[in-house]
Amino acid sequence: MPGLIYGFGALNVDLIFQVPGNTVGELPYRPGCEYVEEPFRAVELLGFLKERGVLQGRHGGGSAANAVVALSRLGVPCGFIGRVGEDPEGDFLLEALEDVDKEDIVKSGKSGLCITLLLGDSRDRALIICPNTNDQLQYNDLPVEKIKETARWVHLTSFNGDKPFEAQCRLIEQLPPRIKISLDPGLFYARRGLDSLQPLLRRANYIFPEKDEVELMTGLSWKKGCRELLKMGPDVVLCTLGETGVFVLDSSGEFMVSAPKVSVVDTTGAGDVFAAGFIAARWKGCSLKESVKNGVFWASHSVTGLGRERYPFLEDNGDNNI
């Protein structure tokens, strides 16, 4: 199928738990942070949450997966590159990808898990990730020739392990310039620092870091850090600032797009939906500013529900005409 947008990242079963305020202090996790745990620790946490927390939802997850599901709902043809387990959770994750092309997803081992904690009254969340089979993805798993032939865009998101990171770096070195590359580094890749990320940054057309990730990657204040990132190779830096909006920087200058005020239920995946709305608009030939506004619109829409409940559907477009 020509003209696909491929998502390339981790696939996780997302379990969302509300943790009562009087219980938050019993856990070593804090809002706004991501943690990686061994499988036995995840089992212990789930046992605790079964007794003390409230399960709010079970969804397919992973940053790239969230983005391509949102893109697919917006009518953009998408495929996915990644791994799921040979287990019921793997079947669930494939089904949760909806109409995304799943032909090139490898099934092996145990599926990845992400436990999302809504801690007390905080509107932010803590993420506890158990990567499992995600960290076993390697370059030989990739349908490189097919991607070269059919991709119009590849959207990269982070893995915890070195093997999949190296696979992403090797892949994009081989892709022709006509294929756009976007990167959402997440905390995992931000922690690697600029030197490690150079192979991705040199080739990326668009990068979608959060404010804190910019500061972590660069060691600079976020605005100065965005300017440093632009020097590394991306055409456009789109720095997400939560409920404030998005700061955009390219060779011609900078601008801000504010986010509308909405009733926030769950911020999980908001950045992924922003990326999807932006990419969908660019796909359709919209200007940079129009594309950012489209991304902000859909991201704001998404946080009014849990998980993927409020991800884009074209019939929800309202006054947004893109």
Say what the pLDDT of residue 1 is. 41
Say what the pLDDT of residue 199 is. 96
Cα end-to-end span (Å), the chain: 24
**CB-based contacts of 311, cutoff 8 Å, min separation 6:** 66, 69, 70, 73, 269, 273, 298, 302
CA–CA dist 45, 92 (Å, integer):
21
Letter string b/e over residues 241-277, b meaning 16 or more CB atoms within 10 A of that residue's CB: bbeebbbbbeeeeeeebebeeeeebbbbbbbbbbbbb
Our CA dihedral for 159, 164, 165, 168, rounded to 10 degrees, sits at -120
Domains and CATH numbers, the chain: 4-10+61-110+133-316 (3.40.1190.20)
For residue 127, the SS3 value is strand
CA–CA dist 227, 250 (Å, integer):
9
Say what the pLDDT of residue 322 is. 61
Ranges of H-type helices in the chain: 39-52, 63-73, 88-96, 144-150, 162-174, 186-190, 193-203, 211-218, 222-231, 270-283, 288-302
Which pLDDT tens digit goes with each residue over 76-91?
999 999 999 999 999 9
Question: Within the chain, which residues score under 50 in pLDDT?
Answer: 1-2
Which pLDDT tens digit goes with each residue over 208-249?
999 999 999 999 999 999 999 999 999 999 999 988 999 999
